[in-house]
Amino acid sequence: MKAWNGKSMHIVLALALIGVGVFGFSLLTNPTESMAQQQSRFMGGNPSVVDSEDVNTLRLLFPAGSRSNWHSHSWGQLLMVEEGGGRTQVRGQSLEIMEPGQPWWTDAGVEHWHGAGLDEDALQMTIYSGTVDWLEPVSDDVYRAAPGR
């Protein structure tokens, strides 16, 4: 076995750097297979990412028996229970039970509340933009009402 001397190490290092440079240049000038695969996931053009700094996404774990206050959103709110069972209500309408995977949309300015079931936690995902106008607490009678009331 031949020992590496300083000159040999410099040559190996130089060849390695050249190899990395050639590989990097080929990635920049030739589409890779993964880029081609990515482009083939869309037809008629590729979508572009649009600024989403104003969009808020939260995952809220509501313990059983808990709920938000009445509130509204200036843009609206998309809500979905990921796990457990939830409750929600638009002011003046009947109480609704939220099942996992069922999306629930509230238009801008619509007063509503949401939370967990009486005896079950609820992991909720919420997406909204703009401001939230927080209002009074939801009474126990409203929260405990039978669905459809």
Q: What is the pLDDT of residues 51-63, one digit of tens each?
A: 888 899 999 999 9
- The pLDDT of residue 128 is 96
Provide the total of helices (H) and of strands (E) in the chain, helices listed first.
Answer: 3, 9
Dist. CA 59–CA 86, nearest whole Å: 13
Q: Is the pTM of this model over 0.85?
A: no
Dist. CA 114–CA 42, nearest whole Å: 36
Output 9 or 139, whichever has higher pLDDT: 139
Domain 55-144 CATH (choose: 2.60.290.11, 3.50.50.60, 2.60.120.10, 3.90.320.10): 2.60.120.10
Residue-wise pLDDT tens digits, 79-116: 999 999 999 999 999 999 999 999 999 999 999 999 99
Return left, alpha or beta for 12; rule: phi > 0 is left, psi -120 to 50 is alpha, else beta: alpha
Burial class (CB in 10 A: 0-12, 13-18, 19+), 124: buried
